[in-house]
Amino acid sequence: MQIMKVDPRALKENPDRTRQTRSTPQADALLLATIKAVGIVQPPVIAPESGGGNGYIIDSGHRRVKQAIKAGLEEIEVLVVDAANDNGAMRSMVENIAREPLNPVDQWRAIERLVALGWTEEAIAVALALPVRQIRKLRLLANVLPAMLDQMAKGDMPNEQQLRTIAAASLEEQREVWKAHKPKKGDPQAAWWSIANGLTKKRMYARDASFGEDLARAYGIEWTEDLFAPADEDSRYTTQVEAFLGAQQEWMTSHLPKKGIITEANSWGQPELPKKAERVHGKPGKGDCTAMYLDREGKVQSVHYRMPVEKKPKGTDTFGAEDVGTLAKPRPEVTRKGIEMIGDLRTDALHEALSRAPIEDDTLMALLVLAFAGQNVRVDSGASGEFRWGRRLGRHAAGLFDQEGKLTFDSDMLRIAARGVLIDVLSCRENATKSGLIALVAGDVVGADGFLPNMGTEEFLSCLSRPALEAACKDTPVLPRQRVKDTRAALVEHFGAGYFVHTSALFAPDAVALNGWLTENSVVADEDDGTPVDQDERDGDEPIEPAHDFDADEDGFDEAGIPEGFREAAE
């Protein structure tokens, strides 16, 4: 191994290089700028050309050599190593993985090249510190449609089960389903769940059949072995979908309980129960009914339900007349705890937006006026009156005075103080500090929706009802499960690396509520002297009691009384 200087134009590309996917123009431009500024920091690795040639082949560093040529370098330093028996295949792969992980398609190509050179899957796994299962999973790509491989090369990979389903299908089946479900222009991700589901519908597995061999023979069903399935499960399948479903239907008919019905699954994969039926999720009672149906995979499923109990009107005698049943009051979409969580999350997002979001001066002034209309603010006038928020808000006003007590400030200081006042006054919390509709209007104006955190957590999703959870599954690959906790767990896993905000947490105020508020708070002229008065005062309403006082010694302010971080935000 030695270092030498060579003309980069004299080096030959390695036909067996691991990274064959083109890098992005942005990455190439950044590398070129770096080489022009400081040169090549780490020399490319080259090896003598095999087969009696006198030249050198690039072992690793193809991009560095290419950008050095573009930079006009006459000579570059390179590290010369001995030629490898595998033409540098393993060395090139290890070097590329250490620098930046190869996309899965390039990894698969490198693995196949090593297998062709005599490497075993176990030996590759040890050399690359990868599980053997991962090596075998990547080798499934050999059976994937090239168009899908191009999508996977972008880093958009299906999960292992989806990949096994795709690889088990014929290229013709893959081509047909890909044509229907390939991502639209501008969409970076493919709907792998839909693709795998479309291919699954073409195959019905024996392990999902409730019927026996007698019905299989009666319907002419022939089983085929799935060579890609794990060895510890029944991997037989059939492409005779209609025959499979017909046998399942006949089995359900012959095994239907006394109080049972056969129903269909809706678009969410859930059974369509009779009108007013209440689903039973625990142990069924003596009078409960059973509904059997086929799920999306063709499996026979059964659920229990009960009809509402009929009640006789009090004080009347129906003489055997048919009573009208009553349904229990449905669970609210969001529990009380969830509403309180939304109030806290909204308040944090609103304060973050007021601190960091760009706000025009006229908008800032309008928000200041609006803040005084919040339900948590009261200003008492007169000699004996008080401004209950004065002690806390005075901190912001103190920053507008100089050391001699004169009112001296610049525009930036005024903006900082105004933002601080708004943050102290406006609140969405479900307690005495709630500003009400005003805080929602302010949050909508400053774009506080963009500061809401990911709410797809176990803590928040546990506060949603079943319909709300199933609604959250919309536009996601997550399907509602039979058990609520399973649906919630699937959503938590899906949103773990994503982002979810429940619609009830958004700041846009309800139009009807806003119109009602505007009507109630419209200013009219006093009949006696023409002085504008508030409508509530005109009607003789008592002033609203202020929510609370703040502690003047509370932390979070600098020596001038300005909230920490607001000077930087204004700058």
CB atoms within 10 A of CB 544: 12
**Among the listed residues 202, 288, 297, the one whose alpha carbon sits nearest the alpha carbon of residue 248:** 297
**Among the listed residues 211, 193, 571, 301, the one whose alpha carbon sits nearest the alpha carbon of residue 410:** 571
CB atoms within 10 A of CB 432: 12
Residue indicated by tokens 């899906």: 494
Please give the pLDDT value at position 530: 45
**Among the listed residues 229, 161, 145, the one whose alpha carbon sits nearest the alpha carbon of residue 153:** 145
**Among the listed residues 105, 107, 56, 54, the one whose alpha carbon sits nearest the alpha carbon of residue 78:** 56
3-class secondary structure, 481: coil
Contacts of 81 (CB under 8 A, 6+ apart): 1, 45, 46, 47, 59, 91
**Among the listed residues 173, 116, 121, 168, the one whose alpha carbon sits nearest the alpha carbon of residue 141:** 168
Query: What long-range pairs does 222-230 form, CB within 8 A, spacing at least 24?
Result: 226/168, 227/168, 228/140, 228/143, 228/164, 228/167, 228/168, 229/164, 229/168
The answer to whether 262 touches 252, Cβ cutoff 8 Å, is yes
Residue 51 has which token pair? Answer: 């087969």
Round to whole Å and give the CA distance between 147 and 172: 12
Round to whole Å and give the CA distance between 103 and 24: 13
Round to whole Å and give the CA distance between 566 and 571: 9
Residue 513 has which token pair? Answer: 């509520």
Its pTM stands at 0.37
Helix runs in 207-330, H state only: 213-218, 241-254
Q: Can you give the pLDDT of all 571 residues of the chain as single tens digits?
A: 788 888 989 888 887 776 677 777 877 887 887 788 668 878 888 888 876 667 888 888 888 899 999 989 989 988 888 766 665 566 666 555 555 567 888 888 888 888 888 888 888 876 666 788 888 888 889 889 999 998 888 888 888 888 888 888 888 888 988 988 888 887 888 888 888 877 766 678 898 999 999 999 988 999 988 776 777 778 888 888 878 988 998 999 889 888 889 998 876 678 888 888 888 888 888 888 999 998 877 889 999 998 887 665 555 554 444 443 344 455 678 888 888 888 888 888 888 888 888 888 888 888 887 777 777 776 554 333 333 444 456 666 666 677 777 776 677 778 888 888 888 888 888 877 788 888 898 889 889 898 899 998 988 988 888 888 888 888 888 888 888 888 888 899 888 878 899 988 898 888 888 888 788 776 433 444 444 444 444 444 444 344 334 343 444 445 444 445 544 544 4
What's the burial of 330, exposed, middle or buried (CB within 10 Å: 0-12/13-18/19+)?
exposed
Regarding beta strands 289-294 and 523-525, do their DSSP bridges make them parallel or antiparallel, or are they unpaired?
unpaired
**Among the listed residues 167, 131, 172, the one whose alpha carbon sits nearest the alpha carbon of residue 149:** 167
Mean pLDDT of the residues in the chain: 77
**pLDDT tens-place string over residues 252-310:** 988 988 888 999 887 667 888 888 888 888 888 888 899 999 887 788 999 999 888 76
Q: Cα Rg for the chain, rounded, in angstroms?
A: 35
Round to whole Å and give the CA distance between 13 and 110: 16
Task: Please report, for residues 3, 37, 73, 378, the alpha-carbon distance to residue 69 in angstroms, rounded to integers and kept in the order given.
Answer: 19, 14, 6, 72
Residue indicated by tokens 């890098």: 23
3-class secondary structure, 340: helix
At 56, give phi and psi (nearest 5°).
-125, 145
Contacts of 315 (CB under 8 A, 6+ apart): none
Round to whole Å and give the CA distance between 479 and 253: 27
Length of the chain: 571
Please give the pLDDT value at position 111: 87
Helix axes 411-425 and 361-371, enclosed angle (nearest 10): 30
The answer to whether 471 touches 268, Cβ cutoff 8 Å, is no
**Among the listed residues 93, 2, 96, the one whose alpha carbon sits nearest the alpha carbon of residue 48:** 2
**Among the listed residues 73, 47, 49, 46, the one whose alpha carbon sits nearest the alpha carbon of residue 61:** 46
Domains (range + CATH), the chain: 2-191 (1.10.10.2830), 206-306 (no CATH), 336-452+501-538 (no CATH)
